[in-house]
Structure 1
Amino acid sequence: MKLEDELKMQQFTDNFQKAYLNILFTGNWLEARMQKSLKVFNITTSQYNVLRILRGQKGQPMSAFAIQERMLHRTSNVTRILEKLVEKGLVTRESKSSNRRMIDVMLTAKGAELLKASDEMANESHLQFARTISEAEALQMSDWLDTIRNEHL
């Protein structure tokens, strides 16, 4: 569906406003779809993001600060997210003896199992996206989005 129909707007100030709103709307739309898919695993998109970051560590601990630097939503309250994941038994959290404010976080076996089970869902989302646009279009879109972010540094 076109953005005009989704937002029930007949006219935009200019094409830049339309593109800007389209990026915001589409990002939220994609995240809502992902959240719906993750509902069966009883985790949020931010929790899923943290679990995937930790899986990439291949068994090595990671600080909460380092996790937050790599998150898609960097404004997320990583402490609260980690607490929820600890409660669910998906990660462990240990304070370092040398600095109690530094926390090492690791993925548990249960967390790794959840990620393995959710991989099919994530791969299906990826494949749906790949069926929508070509690889060249995906590369061009990524380049454009990188350009937008680099211009606003």
Structure 2
Amino acid sequence: MMPGKLLQEIAQAKPWTCREEEAFLNIARTYEYLAQTLSEFFREYHLSMTQYNMLRILRGAGPEGLNCTEAARRMITHDPDVTRLFDRLEVRRLILRKRSSVDRRVVLASITEHGLELLSQMDEPLCDLHVRQMAGLTPEKLETLIEACEALRP
């Protein structure tokens, strides 16, 4: 078996303990590369990846919005302080929070028109970025990647 590209990238002479270690570290290295590109993209819109993720969740929830717990459950990456995340988005008038009419203890968050407009501006350029990020994969390899990633999650 030929040494993989990652060994060269990180200048490691010692072979991997097992093939699974090599796979894991390749996923981690690739995520960091892709996340850096995304962070640069989001910086142009004065958003973090986490803020963008929450805006997408709230857009998908529709005008009724979601409570904090449900919104946090749907996030791609876990954020332990969703309340502060909501605070930052509300200050920018991207979301609105209100008490539930059914249960006054529950606070619902929904995306504002301003938030919808921002996401609308980002949709096409972000899709273009993802296409560029995945340009090294044939459609078949892209399908295999998606299937492999999904097989690793419970």
Normalising by structure 1, we get a TM-score of 0.88
Taking the aligned partners of 2:100 and 2:63, their CA distance within structure 1 comes to 17
Aligned equivalent of 1:103, options 90, 107, 114? 107
Question: Which deviates more, 54-63 or 93-102?
Answer: 93-102
- From the two aligned structures, give the one with the greater helix fraction: 1
**Between Structure 1 and Structure 2, how many residues are aligned?**
150
Correspondence 1:1-150 to 2 at 5 A: 2-10=5-13, 11-96=15-100, 99-150=103-154
- Deviation of 1:81 after TM superposition, in Å, equals 0.9
Q: CA contact under 8 A between 2:62 and 2:110: conserved in structure 1?
A: no
Q: CA contact under 8 A between 1:86 and 1:92: conserved in structure 2?
A: yes
Question: Which deviates more, 96-105 or 116-125?
Answer: 96-105
Q: CA contact under 8 A between 1:46 and 1:76: conserved in structure 2?
A: no
The residue type equivalent to 2:78 in the other structure is R
- Deviation of 1:80 after TM superposition, in Å, equals 1.3
Gaps spanning 5+ residues in structure 2: where?
none
Gaps spanning 5+ residues in structure 1: where?
none
Identity, in percent, stands at: 26
Partner SS state of residue 26, structure 1: helix
Partner SS state of residue 82, structure 1: helix
The root-mean-square deviation of aligned C-alpha atoms, in Å, is 1.9
Structure 1 residues 44-84: Cα deviation after superposition (integer angstroms, max 9, x where no partner):
00000001111112323111111111100124421111110
Taking the aligned partners of 2:10 and 2:138, their CA distance within structure 1 comes to 26
Provide runs of 4+ in structure 1 moved above 3 Å: 97-101
- Deviation of 1:22 after TM superposition, in Å, equals 0.8
Normalising by structure 2, we get a TM-score of 0.87
